Structure 1
Amino acid sequence: MLIGEVARRSGVSARMLRHYDSLGLVRPTGRTVGGYREYSPEDIRRIFQVEGLRSLGLSLSQIGRALEDVAFTPSALVTNLIRKTEERLNRELELLERLRTVDAAEPSGWHDVLRIIELLHGLGSQSAARRQQTVLAPAEDVSVPAELLAEAVLTETDPNVAGALRWALARAGSDGVAGVASGMGSHDVEVRRRAVLALAELPGDEATAVLTEALADADATVRRHAALALGARGLTRAVPALIGTVVEGPNDVEAAEILGTLARDTQWADRIIGALVDELTAHAGDSAVRMRLTQALAEMPGTIALTTLRQLARDDDRAVAIIASALVERLEERPDDEPGQP
């Protein structure tokens, strides 16, 4: 079969077939009287073998070795190809995200594009100080897009930079909610913790809905921050988790203050006090927990927890009794409409 027909049937150009011949990769076994290349069925089979290996990303030199060396084992080469392909895909994905970020910012000209790229480099810096500066003082008049802030807040490990990112996101309003909310589906608990902290500072029903779902998260820290945020928004569905926060700590003082605010609703006051009392009974042998619960009772509005605290002032646990006695004394001096102050 002559080269033109081989090219037509195989889909490999005549120019590439000549290149294969010059490299010794696929040499036709015969020549016509006129000197034209003539390919045998075996030659054509080798062409398809070469093309098959090329489709895996092998170079022509690697293909030559693979086809000629009978001792050649493909496992190491294939493993190396997998690694290089993954690296290339990661670079392509990074480029794709960068392009999406630029597009989302709706640049009006190349000047804006270059400024956004500068922001991307700043947020990707190895220096925490530079990352923080990029957030707090963006280049010229170009603000950091909310989508970029959301992506950065989910990966930032430095607490100061993370705080700056949350502040900048809050200034952007609800634009960054969807980006941050995506972090709540991560298998990495640290990502979910960063996400819930950011959502806690974002306004709107969308953020509230995601925080409500976070009350069922497998991680206690995520649940705690979600409850604190929801309780601060006046949502009583956070009460059970807030009670749990008082029991477990940390953030027990903040949780107690929020419970005191929620208890100003007379429909919830008795439920909250009852829940705190139930926990006192459930943790009869844990002095530290019962002390936190006792202090939380003092956060209830007016003097509605005074009777319970008087009973605790005679508690068998001396530490609890001392705290309760001091709180009773303070409550007895408090006007009925004065909110709890420890």
Structure 2
Amino acid sequence: MTTTADALTDPRSSVRLRAVMALGTAADPADLELLLERCAVDPDLQVREALTWSLVRLPAELTVPRLVEQLHRPEAQARSQALHTLSKIRDASVYPAVADALGDPDPGVARTAWRAAALLAPESERPALARRLARELGSGDRERRLALSRALASLGPEVAGPVLTEAAERRGDAVREHVADTERLLADPDAGSALAVERARREMALGRGKRASG
């Protein structure tokens, strides 16, 4: 007979997904550690989303402290998944722990921390967060830039607008270009896909130019 533990390690993602959904439906606090361990290792995005759903269904007073502890694990996926789940629970008391992850050495974890911090920051912390995020403007690939733009845009024009204006006035062309993209997102939250395509085209054109000049 297949046990839940066996199903969670099955090579078929569909089997693992059914097992996680069953745990989430039962919402038994005794399964908390099992769910957390799978967050650190499961390779399938859909399964990980189900793990987050299952964790959110458990009592927050049990889940939140353990998720915060996960932010110190060596596995980048464990840290990223914990941040993602905390952003779904929306307990603003964990904001200091989330803010500590903004500079995580793993790019994927840092991007998740940006999103989580923007969602969880108390009103009094939002301007400081905007300034912290603005230090990253103009650097990285298009995925990183779009993630940062979305995080800044989610803080709203009243918070992000002045920071973006200052960055555009004081820094170079790459920052000004990134600021312009972010301001488009502020004006139109649905513009993210178009920005990603436009950024890819710019990068391709730049690559062609470099090859031609070289």
Normalising by the residue count of structure 1, what TM-score does the alignment of the two structures yield? Answer: 0.42
- Give the deviation of 1:292 after TM superposition: 3.8
Q: Does residue 1:169 correspond to 2:20, yes or no?
A: no
User: Which residue of structure 1 aligns with residue 107 of structure 2?
Assistant: 248
Structure scoring higher RCO (CA < 8 A, sep ≥ 6) equals 2
| Whole-angstrom distance in 2 between the partners of 1:230 and 1:303 | 25
Q: Does residue 1:221 correspond to 2:77, yes or no?
A: yes
CA-based RMSD: 3.6
- Which residues of 2 match residues 200-215 of structure 1 at below 5 A? 200=52, 201-202=54-55, 203-204=58-59, 205-215=61-71
Quickly say closer, same or farther: Cα 1:251–1:273, change in 2 above 3 A.
closer
Match of 1:266 among 106, 120, 123: 123
| Whole-angstrom distance in 1 between the partners of 2:127 and 2:68 | 23
| Whole-angstrom distance in 2 between the partners of 1:191 and 1:261 | 21
SS of 1:305's equivalent? helix
- Give the deviation of 1:224 after TM superposition: 0.7
User: Which residue of structure 1 aligns with residue 41 of structure 2?
Assistant: 193
Aligned residue identity for 1:219: E
In the alignment, structure 2 segments of 5+ residues that lack a partner are: 193-214
The total of aligned residue pairs comes to 176
Quickly say closer, same or farther: Cα 1:162–1:326, change in 2 above 3 A.
same
User: Which residue of structure 2 aligns with residue 277 of structure 1?
Assistant: 134
- Give the deviation of 1:180 after TM superposition: 0.7
- Give the deviation of 1:231 after TM superposition: 2.3
Aligned residue identity for 1:220: A
- Give the deviation of 1:285 after TM superposition: 5.7
Structure with the higher fraction of residues in helix conformation:
2
| Whole-angstrom distance in 2 between the partners of 1:233 and 1:208 | 8
Quickly say closer, same or farther: Cα 1:262–1:191, change in 2 above 3 A.
closer
Aligned residue identity for 1:156: D
- Give the deviation of 1:240 after TM superposition: 2.9
- Give the deviation of 1:153 after TM superposition: 5.1
Quickly say closer, same or farther: Cα 1:259–1:301, change in 2 above 3 A.
farther
- Give the deviation of 1:317 after TM superposition: 4.0
Quickly say closer, same or farther: Cα 1:206–1:157, change in 2 above 3 A.
farther
Normalising by the residue count of structure 2, what TM-score does the alignment of the two structures yield? Answer: 0.63
- Give the deviation of 1:232 after TM superposition: 1.9
- Give the deviation of 1:175 after TM superposition: 4.3
| Whole-angstrom distance in 2 between the partners of 1:246 and 1:291 | 18
User: Which residue of structure 1 aligns with residue 158 of structure 2?
Assistant: 303
Quickly say closer, same or farther: Cα 1:300–1:154, change in 2 above 3 A.
same
Confirm or deny: 8 A CA contact 2:99 2:113 kept in the other structure.
Answer: no
In the alignment, structure 1 segments of 5+ residues that lack a partner are: 1-119, 124-147, 185-189, 335-339
| Whole-angstrom distance in 1 between the partners of 2:154 and 2:83 | 17
Larger radius of gyration: 1
SS of 2:79's equivalent? helix
- Which residues of 2 match residues 129-140 of structure 1 at below 5 A? none
